A and B are shown apart, each in its own frame.
Chain A
Amino acid sequence: SQQGEEDPQALSIQEGENATMNCSYKTSINNLQWYRQNSGRGLVHLILIRSNEREKHSGRLRVTLDTSKKSSSLLITASRAADTASYFCATDASSGGSNYKLTFGKGTLLTVNP
């Protein structure tokens, strides 16, 4: 089963509004990453937050991590139509020794209406 679960599955907002996506996971992690994927395209890495960090910013992106609740959130401020895409959280964790894997959630489909 997939480690991360995003909420909501789909989100539709107006340009200029903020978009918040949440992610929950099940096991201890090394770090958590957020990716964007435009329809039919590859993955674009957005931001990485280490397990000992609580908040991180990158441009219009703000990520929080609560390891006690095993949850993360991605906030996109002042959204633009070009932000329309699927957003995935993914957790980097060890399955034993140096065997690290990245496990993805099912994603949130964000639609930003002009």
Chain B
Amino acid sequence: RKEVEQDPGPFNVPEGATVAFNCTYSNSASQSFFWYRQDCRKEPKLLMSVYSSGNEDGRFTAQLNRASQYISLLIRDSKLSDSATYLCVGNNYGQNFVFGPGTRLSVLP
């Protein structure tokens, strides 16, 4: 079993739709979590950190449930520019980032 698993995707949604991505992690020692987005043939870029209390940044909302070892990302009012691969990342304190395989999103006009 992979340490970080994500919805396999791809997700194809119309502009304006709301889309949710799910991620689970197996290492209960993981301390911090992030969502990165990666455009085709580009490097991953930080989208947002994920906190137990949940956090929101404009159209994006991230949630962490430590009891269920589950992380989510919600995108509201999808834009064409949201098309990318979304990577869920866990970090064991003092250790490396562990990436999920990514979920690809295509927002269609």
Do A and B originate from a single complex? no
Chain B residues at the A interface, C-beta cutoff of 8 Å: none
